[in-house]
Every structure is written in structure tokens, then in C-alpha cells.
Amino acid sequence: MNDFAEIVGRYREDGFAVVRGVYSPPEISAFEHAIDRCVRDVARKLEPGDIYFEDAPGRPMKSMFRLERHEESLAAMLTDPRLLDMARAVYDDAGVVLETVMCFGKPARSGSVTPPHQDNAFQSWDPPEAMTVTIAVDASTSDNGVLICQRGSHKAGLLSHRPSGVMGFSQMLIDTPDTAEYPEEEIRMVPGDVFLHSVDTVHRSGANHTDRSRRQLAIMCHSSRAKVDEQRQTRTQEILRNLHADNAGRS
Ligand SMILES: O=C(O)CCC(=O)C(=O)O
């Protein structure tokens, strides 16, 4: 196994960590082709809730979920030993699970804002030994909708959220934690970098004002000790259903 001591130390302290240069240029190019295939061939077959579009001319893809069901090369990421080794090191647990593959498109010129949230408001892990593993397909820079995380905010636990009205990110924080205590950090990456953030880490992203897309693949991961709190999950799904009913025909 690689020595992930530094990455694990940073993840535990900050609630996130970047691992540079995990995927090679040919692998990134294969991911680009897989995303293109999903947009071209799979998107029209996806259920509402598994795909969202930007409210912009041409309705570019905003996000797609559960892609492992449709694209073998993306399903293979769930057994990638590089990602499994990282996750095992973070949780000191041989039984980690890489669960599902998502894509966040943040398209050029029309990528919209992601409101501040914690992923556990959507996922309900208890204990919150779960994280999102993000793979940079494009470079993320200050002006194309880079992810912004609040350092140490995972230690504050799950905070109160409210419906955001934003398709694809239906929950947002009522109050964001004080940035003096939990400073914001831009997660600038180049293609092939991997980013780990805890489901309790507060994060957001801005709009994409550039001519460059900021595509990222993301994988949900949890330790064998983490279980879904079914009651909380039912309440979240109810909010999602209402949002879809209100926006029927739009997404
Ligand atoms: O791509 C984004 O703007 C947000 C992604 C996100 O919320 C996540 O990876 O958990």
C-alpha cells in the first residue's frame, strides 16, 4: 500500500485533502469519452433525479448520477485499487465501500452556483465516516467554478439545512460557519488530481464565467462502520420529491 500518512493527517485535520497526479492523461481522456457517451447516449434514458441540466441555451449537462449502471469504464472506478487504498488509509478499515459514480459538469459560461452544504444533509451517514472522492477531468481554477471548502468545518458536525430551490442541490446551509474559525480554501486542481472531502465538510462552488468547462467525476465512499440513518434519509427524499413535483417539465 502507498504511504498515505500525510494525506490522512490532512484529511483528519482539515476535513479534506488533495492527492496530486493519480490518473494519467490517457486515463483522463478515457473518462472524457465516457462522459461524452453518457451525455450523448445515456442522458435521455436517465430518470429525473439522475440528471440535471443548466437553465441556459442548449441546456448543457449540470450533473448526472448513478453512472456506474450505464458505463462500464466508470463502474470500474468503484474497484480501482488506488482509490480503495486511499479510502482504507483514511478510515483504517479494510471494508470500505466505493458506492456510486456522479459527474458534475460546470459547463463553460453557464455552470451555475452550488450553494453551501454538507453532503451528509443528502446522505445521512451515521457515524459520518463517509466522503466524496472527486476526480478532476478538467482543470479547476478560481474563475471556472472551483470547489471551495471550509477548513475544519467537518468538526462542527451536521448543521441545519433548508431547501435551496436549486435543482441538483436541493439542500443548503441555513447559516454558514464563521470563516474566521473555518477558513475557506479553493481546491484548484489539474486533470488527474483526486480530492477527498468528508460528508461533514462545508463546501460550495461559484458560477463558471470562463470558456472552459470544469468537469469532475465524483464517487461516494464510506467505511464499513457507517450506516444510513433511514428516518433522516426518508425526510430528505420527501423534500426531493416535492422539488421535482414543483419543477416538473423543467429538469
Ligand atoms: O461540483 C460542484 O459544484 C459541487 C460538487 C459537490 O457538492 C460535491 O462534490 O460534493
Sequence-separated (6 or more) residues with CB below 8 Å from residue 242 = 163
- What CA–CA distance (Å, rounded) separates 150 from 158? 14
- Cell 490522512 sits at which residue? 8
What is the rounded average pLDDT of the residues 218-242? 88
Atom 5 (ligand 1) nearest CA: 104
Q: What is the Å distance from ligand 1's center to 102 Cα?
A: 10
Is 28 a member of any domain? yes
Is 20 a member of any domain? yes
Rounded percentage of the chain residues whose pLDDT exceeds 70: 95
Rounded percentage of the chain residues whose pLDDT exceeds 90: 83
Fill in the amino acid letter for 15: G
Pocket test for ligand 1, best of 64, 147, 194 (most atoms within 8 A of CB): 147
Is 101 a member of any domain? yes
> How many structural domains compose the chain?
1
Closest atom of ligand 1 to CA, residue 203: 7
Question: Is a pLDDT exceeding 80 seen at residue 73?
Answer: yes
Long-range contacts of 233-242 (CB under 8 A, 24+ apart): 233/123, 233/124, 236/121, 236/122, 236/124, 236/171, 239/163, 239/170, 239/171, 240/49, 240/170, 242/163
Pocket test for ligand 1, best of 65, 99, 135, 203 (most atoms within 8 A of CB): 203
Question: Is a pLDDT exceeding 80 seen at residue 89?
Answer: yes
Pocket lining for ligand 1, CB < 6 angstroms: 104, 106, 114, 119, 132, 134, 147, 203, 205, 216, 218
Domain residue limits at 85: 5-236
Is 194 a member of any domain? yes
What are the pLDDT digits (tens) for 10-21? 999 999 999 999
Closest atom of ligand 1 to CA, residue 218: 9
| Secondary structure element (H or E) that encloses residue 51, with its range | strand 51-53
> pTM above 0.85?
yes
Is 161 a member of any domain? yes
Of 173, 165, 160, which Cα lies nearest the Cα of 242?
Answer: 165
Q: Counting beta carbons within 10 angstroms of the beta carbon of residue 26, is it exposed (0 to 12), middle (13 to 18) or buried (19 or more)?
A: exposed
Q: What is the Å distance from ligand 1's center to 217 Cα?
A: 10
Is 250 a member of any domain? no
| Residues listed for the chain | 251
The more confident residue out of 10 and 240 is 10
Is 66 a member of any domain? yes
Of 21, 208, 31, 19, which Cα lies nearest the Cα of 137?
Answer: 31
- Angle subtended at Cα 192 by Cα 189 and Cα 197, rounded to the nearest 5 degrees: 60
Tell whether the torsion through CA atoms of 83, 84, 86 and 87 is positive or negative. Answer: positive
Instruction: Give per-residue burial for 35-73: e unless 16+ CB within 10 Å, then b.
Output: bebbbeebeeebeebbbbbbeeeeebbbbbbbbbebbee
Fill in the amino acid letter for 203: H
Is 247 a member of any domain? no
Q: What is the Å distance from ligand 1's center to 116 Cα?
A: 10
HEC-encoded secondary structure of 89-117:
HHHCCCCCEEEEEEEECCCCCCCCCEEEE
Residue 39: per-residue pLDDT: 95
- What CA–CA distance (Å, rounded) separates 50 from 45? 10
Residue 250: per-residue pLDDT: 38
Question: Is a pLDDT exceeding 70 seen at residue 151?
Answer: yes
- CATH number of the domain that 71 lies in? 2.60.120.620
What are the pLDDT digits (tens) for 22-72? 999 999 999 999 999 999 999 888 988 899 999 999 999 999 999 999 999
Pocket test for ligand 1, best of 103, 114, 117 (most atoms within 8 A of CB): 114
